[in-house]
């Protein structure tokens, strides 16, 4: 069973965010990066399916040269080879452009299953996977919490609202967007880290990316606002003033 896993390099969650001069994205030169959390769970699920059914796991990532960091990490965890769509502008591209670039890089490959994380930690629109499925002409399911393979088809468990779940039967090949927490992540071993250095990373330079469908106009960091207002007077006067502020200003009663 040949499985492709799309992974993204995102700013580390513990990094103190700084905006660039135009305030349209982060200052990448100051940032530290890591593998997108949901993509790490998608990778782990692919490795488990490979252990059960054989085949290979191919990781695909789009972005500048720095994304080789997460590619090597995925190879160290057990992926067999990688495809790197090498283009600086893909670091800030929208889901439509990224999906188109990934689909183009997958031409000539014959994957039985394509996995992506549900959404990225930096943008969180949850669109790249479903747009990629459209480009590849594959049926897809989202917010997947369990994957069963047998008889040439998939049986997947989807998370719905309000604590409900849905089981869906799908043909292969297909694309799934995986929810965080679907499994327990493994860590790269020393043996895996050494083996990753010898694994193939096929570099693809896209000939064209097409027009973006969205544009970030501006970003603003959350402002810390702390306003303390002292209420004076007798206990009766203070309680009456407090109730009025809770009702009229805070609108909590």
Q: How high is the pLDDT of residue 222? A: 80
Q: How high is the pLDDT of residue 253? A: 83
pLDDT tens-digit profile of 118-134? Answer: 999 998 999 999 999 99
Q: How high is the pLDDT of residue 227? A: 75
Q: Are 61 and 70 in contact (CB under 8 A)?
A: yes
Is 179's pLDDT higher than 80? Answer: yes
The span from the CA of 100 to the CA of 124, in Å, is 18
Please state, in angstroms and as integers, the Cα–Cα distance from residue 15 to each residue in 34, 41, 228, following that order: 10, 21, 30
Tell me the two tokens of residue 135: 């480009």
Q: Are 202 and 82 in contact (CB under 8 A)?
A: yes
Instruction: Delineate the domains of the chain, giving CATH numbers in brackets.
Output: 2-204 (3.40.50.620)
pLDDT tens-digit profile of 58-117? Answer: 999 999 999 999 999 999 999 999 999 999 999 989 999 999 999 999 998 999 999 999
Q: How high is the pLDDT of residue 69? A: 96
pLDDT tens-digit profile of 154-178? Answer: 999 999 998 999 999 999 999 999 9
Q: Are 211 and 66 in contact (CB under 8 A)?
A: no
Q: How high is the pLDDT of residue 210? A: 83
Q: What is the largest CA-CA distance in the chain?
A: 80
The span from the CA of 14 to the CA of 75, in Å, is 24
The span from the CA of 225 to the CA of 38, in Å, is 32
């Amino acid at each position: 069973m040949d499985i492709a896993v799309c992974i993204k390099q995102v700013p580390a969650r513990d990094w103190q965010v700084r905006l660039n001069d135009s305030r349209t994205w982060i200052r990448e030169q100051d940032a530290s990066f890591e593998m997108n959390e949901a993509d790490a769970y998608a990778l782990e699920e692919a490795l488990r399916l490979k252990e059960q059914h054989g085949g290979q796991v191919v990781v695909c990532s789009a972005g500048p040269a720095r994304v080789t960091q997460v590619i090597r990490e995925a190879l160290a965890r057990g992926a067999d080879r990688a495809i790197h769509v090498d283009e600086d502008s893909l670091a800030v591209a929208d889901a439509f452009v990224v999906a188109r670039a990934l689909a183009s890089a997958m031409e000539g490959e014959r994957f039985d299953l394509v996995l992506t994380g549900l959404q990225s930690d930096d943008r969180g629109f949850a669109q790249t996977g479903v747009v990629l499925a459209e480009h590849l002409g594959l049926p897809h399911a989202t917010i997947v919490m369990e994957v069963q393979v047998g008889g040439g088809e998939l049986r997947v468990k989807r998370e719905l609202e309000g604590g409900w779940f849905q089981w869906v039967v799908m043909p292969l090949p297909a694309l799934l967007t995986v929810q965080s927490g679907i499994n327990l992540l493994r860590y790269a071993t020393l043996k895996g880290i050494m083996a990753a250095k010898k694994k193939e990373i096929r570099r693809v330079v896209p000939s064209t990316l097409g027009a973006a469908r969205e544009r970030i106009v501006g970003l603003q960091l959350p402002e810390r606002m702390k306003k303390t207002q002292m209420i004076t007077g007798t206990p009766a006067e203070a309680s009456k003033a407090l109730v009025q502020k809770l009702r009229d200003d805070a609108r909590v009663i």
